[in-house]
Amino acid sequence: MGFSARSDKGTPQGGPLSPLLANIYLNELDKELTRRGHHFVRYADDCNIYVKSQRAGERVMRSITHFLEKQLKVKVNPDKTKVGSPLRLKFLGFSLGVDRNGAYARPAKQSQKRVKQALKLLTKRNRGVSIEQMFEEIHRKMRGWLQYYSIGKLTGFIQRLDQWLRARIRQYIWKQWKKFKTKITNLQRLGLSYRDAYVFASTRKGYWRTAHSKTLGYSLTNRKLEHLGLINMSKTLQSIQSD
């Protein structure tokens, strides 16, 4: 069964028509900003204007808001319009960083938090899906994310995310080995002696602490997890950036 509703205002959210019309209509904004000599970037209806100070930013925001609302008859959302440092504000998921070599793009803090939250949901201990399915879902999610953000500086963040994700996976696998005998058998298959496997399987530590233990790190190594299908995000990022 299909459903449709008539709308007398706006365009469907997420549709291809909205950004196309924004680019056509806001071409006049581009001309006005260029005429005034401002540095700016715009994608559809998302626009950042760069000035030298907070005071100048507030002045330009008032002036451009007036231009948009009076000349172009476009309503400006005050909740989404603000003046701030380009090191904190985001544009299309990116923010700017600065080092001795100058400015560089990086994933905004909000983007980093969102992708970590998405991985957290995919690796919940009680999901009850196979490791193969989970790894496939993680690969689909992260391949596209890394492709999008690869123009930015994110090596350090991805290395930390790799380590955190592996711990989440070890936690998930450990929980799947519910029975005491199952833990001993699987630990032996991974190279531990019966005695060491027995001692470790008897641990009363919580899942997260166990996931960070040296024994589980030694048995479920990074290489073994990768062999099972877990994406190595650091290697994937290097491959994308070297293409």
Tens digit of pLDDT for each residue in 90-123? 889 999 888 888 888 999 999 999 999 999 999 9
Span 14-29, mean pLDDT?
A: 79
Same-domain check for residues 235 and 129: yes
Nearest to 230 by CA among 156, 167, 151, 150: 167
76 and 184 share one domain = no
Report the DSSP beta bridge partners of residue 94: 91, 107
| The pair of three-digit structure tokens given for residue 69, joined into one six-digit string | 């609302």
Please give the pLDDT value at position 82.
87
Q: Are 133 and 166 contained in the same domain? A: yes
pLDDT at 7 over 50: no
Residue 156 lies inside a defined structural domain of this protein: yes
Burial of 240 (C-beta count, 10 Å sphere; 0-12/13-18/19+): middle
Angle between the 17-25 and 27-36 helix axes, to the nearest 10 degrees?
A: 40
Q: 119 and 234 share a domain?
A: yes
Q: How confident is the model at residue 5 (pLDDT cuts 50, 70, 90)?
A: very low
Pairing mode of beta strands 102-107, 46-50: unpaired
- In angstroms, the Cα distances linking 46 to 22, 95, 129, 132, 150 are 9, 14, 39, 39, 21
pLDDT(3) > 50: no
- Is 76 within a domain? yes
The per-residue pLDDT for 162 is: 97
Do 222 and 126 lie in one domain? The reply is yes
Q: What's the whole-number mean pLDDT along residues 182-192? A: 88
Domains of the chain: total: 2
153 φ/ψ angles, rounded to the nearest 5 degrees: -95, 110
CA dist 202 and 207 (Å) reads 13
Are 218 and 180 part of one and the same domain? Answer: yes
Residue 138 shares a structural domain with residue 200: yes
Task: Give the pLDDT score at 15.
Answer: 63
Of the pLDDT bands very low, low, confident and very high (cuts 50, 70, 90), residue 78 is confident
For residues 109 and 165, give the distance between their C-alpha atoms in angstroms, rounded to a whole number. Answer: 18
Q: In this structure, are 76 and 111 located in the same domain?
A: no
Tokens standing for residue 62: 């008032």
Same domain, 72 and 128: no
Q: For residue 160, what pLDDT is reported?
A: 97
pLDDT, residue 146, reads 97
pLDDT at residue 207 in the model? 84
State the average pLDDT for the chain.
88
Co-location of 184 and 226 in the same domain:
yes
Clarify whether residues 68 and 120 are in a common domain: no
- 141 with 180, same domain: the answer is yes
Residue range of the domain that includes 169: 106-242
Residue 146 and residue 159: Cα distance in Å, rounded? Answer: 12
